[in-house]
């Protein structure tokens, strides 16, 4: 079990958004602010970890013919619990995210990890896979959300106190004398930011993988006779 490889895959190599291009519906919908993006990412991470663990635990008892319906029921149950918990303890944030919390059920990344990894591996590895995949998804959403929020509204982590509590109100910042560009908080702006980040990731990976050119060695001149 290569925990380092699992974590690296989830965070970077097979990042849900930046590599697999999955879950683009919530990616575009909730990344209008960094706070919304972070909340959605953390909720998805919680569902990923628990669903991976449960699927791994029952992988030898559920027949292959009914495994997908069973996985969907498990994921739907977990999402319902997360939705109710957020409604109870973060009601104002729940009102902002609304339907998108329930739509975690149809997030193909969660079902994909359950089918591709958790159903074939042990509990510990599956837990790390769910955590790494969820944190990679959270990272992607938060980066996109912060860029869109900064350019579109001139703020950073607006209403962070709704998610993290009043003690984190210091994260809420606003650029002076900048009202933002409406395009960046609309879907076209989201796709533009995503495209630029994908291009930047591609350039970084290409440069990292390109071997450095060897410096030619100049032979020493023969000593004079």
Q: What is the pTM of this model?
A: 0.90
Contact 36, 71 (CB under 8 A): no
Is residue 20 over pLDDT 70?
Answer: yes
pLDDT tens for each residue of 45-63: 999 999 999 999 999 999 9
pLDDT tens for each residue of 149-171: 999 999 999 989 888 888 888 88
Calpha distance 141→123 (Å, rounded):
27
The residues, any chain, with a CB within 8 Å of residue 162's CB and separated by 6 or more, are 35, 90, 92, 93, 96
In this predicted structure, what is the pLDDT of residue 157? Answer: 93
Backbone angles phi, psi at 156, to 5 degrees: -135, 130
The residues, any chain, with a CB within 8 Å of residue 56's CB and separated by 6 or more, are 118, 119, 121, 122, 123, 125, 126, 127
């Amino acid at each position: 079990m290569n925990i380092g490889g699992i974590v690296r895959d989830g965070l970077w190599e097979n990042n849900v958004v930046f590599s697999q291009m999955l879950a683009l519906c919530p990616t575009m919908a909730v990344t209008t602010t960094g706070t919304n993006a972070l909340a959605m990412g953390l909720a998805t991470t919680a569902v990923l970890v628990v669903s991976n663990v449960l699927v791994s635990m029952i992988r030898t008892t559920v027949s292959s013919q009914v495994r997908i319906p069973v996985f969907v029921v498990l994921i739907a149950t977990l999402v319902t619990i997360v939705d109710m918990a957020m409604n109870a303890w973060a009601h104002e944030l729940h009102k902002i995210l609304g339907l998108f919390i329930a739509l975690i059920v149809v997030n193909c990344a969660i079902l994909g990890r359950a089918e591709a990894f958790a159903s074939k591996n042990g509990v510990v590895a599956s837990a790390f896979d769910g955590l790494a995949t969820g944190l990679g998804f959270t990272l992607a959403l938060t980066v996109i959300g912060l860029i869109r929020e900064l350019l579109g509204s001139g703020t950073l982590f607006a209403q962070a106190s709704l998610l993290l509590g009043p003690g984190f109100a210091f994260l809420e910042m606003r650029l002076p004398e900048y009202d933002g560009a409406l395009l960046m908080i609309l879907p076209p702006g989201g796709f533009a930011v995503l495209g630029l980040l994908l291009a930047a990731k591609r350039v970084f990976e290409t440069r990292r993988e390109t071997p450095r050119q060897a410096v030619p060695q100049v032979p020493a001149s023969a000593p004079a006779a």
